[in-house]
Amino acid sequence: MFAAGRTDRVVDGALAASVVLATVMPLVLPDPDPWWIIGLGLLASVPVVWRRRAPMVVAVVVGAAMSVLVTWEKPLLPFGPLLAVYTIADLSPTWKRLAAIPAIVATVGTSLVLPGENDETFRLVGTAFVAAYALGTSVRASRSRAAELTERARRLEQEHIAAAAEERTRIARDMHDIITHSVGLMVVQAEAGPVVVRGDPDRAEAVFDAIADMGRGALAELRGVLNTLRTPGEGGGPVCGHDGDGGSVCGHANDGGPVCGHDDERLSEALFQPRLANLPALLDRSGLDVVSTTAGIPRPVAESVEAAVYRIVQEALTNVRKHAGTSAVRLALTWGERLTVEIADNGRGPGERGGYGLAGMRERAAACGGTLRAEAGRDGGFTVRAEFPLE
């Protein structure tokens, strides 16, 4: 900013010096004119030093001085008034620029008519003033355009920063939900494993299978989250090169057995994607006794809403398992003007449910234009209720 101000002062000083020399030198060389004519020349040129501070005042002073000067002396061009007109077109507000046009025309016309100038002088001087005004207007428009582009670039940068922050927050919420839900279930099952092995060896295999399934599900969900951090060409797709359209680099056919295991991975990942269609699988893996009901007619919704509903249900079930002291849960989805999701338990109340989980659920709902309320019941239990607008 300071460098730009210094540059403007240097430019203004150089222009003022050039205008003074171009106006006064013909009055001094080769034979000096009377002192009062030289004084008029100085008055018609020196004030342009202050043209940025008071464009209209400077234009009036140099214009009046030049109009008087041309009665006795005919300079090549009225450089001072030309620079003043340029400055008005460049820096003055719109109403001043428009008001100055009749004054400029009247002043220039008077300075040409009174000395009895010929048509050629009329054309030369008139063209010079029109060019000065047009040049000032063009510079003003270019500066406004540059400022507009700068502001647009600044807003785009802010939007990119906000989008990146929102994406980081979304990924953090996903990681929190995946880890607390899947890994928490794995810990519970693993802790129960030794007891089951000693007391019911036949059931132990099912426990370890459940742990393995949860681990695979967590890996699939984590892989989906981490893939969003990759850009195309960084290994976002499977190494076998299966294109999903029947042809593949690895020779994997859609109607045959998998050669590379690609279909198995796709099926596993699809099963754990945060979608409404995968809610039954989520409930089955929760280890809770969930009673699920649906009212109204389901209809397609945005993927962001599906993901928000899935993650809210997932986090609510995790909180039930960690804090409620009960395995009975009721899940209700109501389709109407809005999609309402309610998860309720009959446990011991809120406990310590004020961490990142509830905050993340509220953020997910708000990001889709919805609302979320979490509260304890009068007779115990805890209810999470989220509502999402449907287009």
Instruction: Give start and end residues of each alpha helix (H) in 200-302.
Output: 201-227, 262-271, 279-285
Q: What is the pLDDT of residues 40-82, one digit of tens each?
A: 888 888 888 888 888 888 888 888 888 878 777 776 678 888 8
What is the C-alpha to C-alpha distance for residues 190 and 116, in angstroms, rounded to an integer? 108
* Mean pLDDT to the nearest integer, 370-391: 87
**pLDDT tier at 350 (50, 70, 90 boundaries)?**
low
**pLDDT tier at 272 (50, 70, 90 boundaries)?**
low
* Mean pLDDT to the nearest integer, 305-315: 89
What pTM was estimated for this model as a whole?
0.47
Map out the domains of the chain with their CATH numbers.
2-117 (no CATH), 276-391 (3.30.565.10)
Q: What are phi and psi of 357, to 5 degrees?
A: -60, -55
What is the C-alpha to C-alpha distance for residues 98 and 110, in angstroms, rounded to an integer? 19
Torsion angle in degrees (nearest 10) through CA of 24, 27, 29, 31? -160
Q: What is the pLDDT of residues 178-237, one digit of tens each?
A: 776 677 767 766 776 777 777 777 677 776 777 777 777 777 777 766 666 665 444 444
- Residues 6+ away with beta carbon under 8 Å from 84: 48, 51, 55, 58, 59, 62, 63
Task: Let me know: does 189 contact 210? Beta carbons within 8 Å.
Answer: yes
Closest Cα partner for 79 from 25, 19, 125, 29? 19
